[in-house]
Structures are given as structure tokens and as C-alpha cells.
């Protein structure tokens, strides 16, 4: 049994390799933001030469799919979460949570983003919340000591329809998109997280993508929902004191 697990681990490493970036060491290097100041707007041409390779990838992001892409040949996965809060409260929590708070944990870590002509990194205290059109660099843990970087864009944030849509970059090994839809169910909210995915390896898509994908999105949703619960507890405490 141990030999079989070892073989599958090696296969996972091979098939999880992303074209966008290499596997990265276990340490979390510091990324210094160099554009979050007024000089960026005053002298864009000068700072262009200072772009790092990762920043160029974020700035020049190209989606792997669009509204006209036929998704019949893509793999599909959907998972639902039920939250014991009304939809407006849940939507607000998801929309306003910062990326360095929702991609944070044992398996996922937000590293950097590009939005409105500015770069941001995970160390910033006054980090912007989700912005439509933003491009994100996220680090995923595959197995101990092996991590990979993925890049995608929040290409849709629809408040009226209560939908988020995230699109993988063309340089990623996996192409496709993820959609997070919020549905009111009385005083509860149903969250549908749907994913379309496709790579050059049918073996990878069948045996590894969903297994790891579910772990990553579970951590993402748990981070936001735990924050929602904490905030609700604080508000209830304040109301009881006021009464």
C-alpha cells in the first residue's frame, strides 16, 4: 500500500506541474511592493523596467476561456455549501474579505495581485478587497515541501445576480473557470461553487485535479465563513449590551 501511495505521489508531482511557474521552495520569500505610491502614476514609463517576472505575468494576463468558449469537452465539478445567514450578509462577507484573508491557511496562500494599474502583495495592511478585473497569484500546497503558483482573474463580480467568476490564465496548465453563485434559501444561503477545467493530461484531470481542488476551495470558503461567524458574534454582543 505504501509503495502504491509513493508511486501516486510521484505522478501527482509530475501532473501538477504548472507552465505558469515552477514549484517553489517551502520558505515564503518577501515580496516588496514598488508601485503602491504616487510615483507610479507620475512616471509609468520609468517603473516599467522594474517589473519582476511575476508582475509581468499578472499585468499581461490573458484568460484561457471566455463567454464564447465551448465547455462540453471540459471536466466539471460542483460543490455546495449551506450557510446559516441571509444572502445579503453572506454576499457582503465574500465581497469585502481581503484576498490575504481568504487564501490563508495550511493549503493556500495569497501572494500578489494586480488591479487598477497597481500591484499589491500579501504583506500589505490596507489591502483592497475583491475588485472585478483583478488578477491574483495564489500559492497552493500539493504535498509537504512542494508548492505551486497559479494565476487567475476575477473577471466577473455581479452584485445583482450574486455571482463571482474566476478564470484561469492561458499560461496555466489547467484552463477553465470557476463560478461561485449565491442562492437565497429563507434565512440561509446556498453557495454553489462550479468548476470547468481542462489540461493536456486527461490522467491528471481525472485522478488529481478534483481531489486537490476540493481541498483548496474548502479552505477558501471556511476562511470567509469563519470570519462571518466571528463578525456576527461581535454584532450580537454589541446588540445585547445596547439592550
Give the tens place of pLDDT for each residue, 42-75: 444 334 558 888 898 899 999 999 999 999 999 9
DSSP at 37: S
Task: Tell me the backbone φ, ψ of residue 167, rounded to 5 degrees.
Answer: -120, 130
Domains of the chain: 2-242 (3.30.530.20)
Backbone φ, ψ for residue 183 (5° rounding): -125, 125
Does the model's pTM come out above 0.85?
no
Which tens digit of pLDDT belongs to each residue from 153-180?
999 999 999 999 999 999 988 999 999 9
Q: Tell me how far CA of residue 139 lies from CA of 24, 110, 207, in angstroms.
A: 9, 6, 21
Half-sphere exposure of 36 (CA within 13 A, CB side): 16
Q: At what angle do helices 87-96 and 210-242 cross, to 10 degrees?
A: 110
State CA 115 to chain mean position distance.
14
Amino acid at each position: 500500500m505504501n509503495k502504491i501511495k509513493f508511486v501516486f505521489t510521484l505522478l501527482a508531482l509530475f501532473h501538477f506541474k504548472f507552465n505558469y511557474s515552477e514549484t517553489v521552495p517551502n520558505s515564503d520569500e518577501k515580496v516588496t511592493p514598488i508601485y503602491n505610491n504616487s510615483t507610479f502614476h507620475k512616471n509609468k514609463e520609468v517603473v516599467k523596467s522594474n517589473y519582476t517576472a511575476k508582475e509581468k505575468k499578472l499585468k499581461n494576463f490573458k484568460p484561457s476561456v471566455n463567454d464564447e468558449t465551448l465547455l462540453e469537452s471540459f471536466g466539471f465539478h460542483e460543490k455546495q455549501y449551506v450557510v446559516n445567514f441571509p444572502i445579503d450578509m453572506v454576499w457582503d462577507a465574500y465581497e469585502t474579505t481581503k484576498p490575504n484573508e481568504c487564501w490563508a491557511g495550511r493549503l493556500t496562500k495569497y501572494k500578489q495581485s494586480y488591479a487598477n494599474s497597481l500591484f499589491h502583495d500579501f504583506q500589505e495592511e490596507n489591502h483592497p478587497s475583491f475588485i472585478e478585473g483583478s488578477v491574483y497569484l495564489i500559492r497552493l500546497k500539493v504535498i509537504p515541501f512542494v508548492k505551486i503558483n497559479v494565476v487567475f482573474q476575477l473577471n466577473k463580480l455581479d452584485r445583482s445576480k450574486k455571482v463571482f467568476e474566476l478564470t484561469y490564465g492561458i499560461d496555466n496548465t489547467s484552463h477553465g473557470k470557476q463560478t461561485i453563485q449565491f442562492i437565497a434559501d429563507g434565512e440561509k444561503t446556498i453557495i454553489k461553487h462550479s468548476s470547468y477545467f481542462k489540461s493536456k493530461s486527461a490522467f491528471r484531470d481525472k485522478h488529481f485535479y478534483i481531489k486537490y481542488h476540493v481541498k483548496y476551495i474548502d479552505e477558501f470558503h471556511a476562511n470567509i465563513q469563519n470570519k462571518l461567524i466571528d463578525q456576527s458574534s461581535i454584532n450580537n454582543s454589541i446588540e445585547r449590551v445596547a439592550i
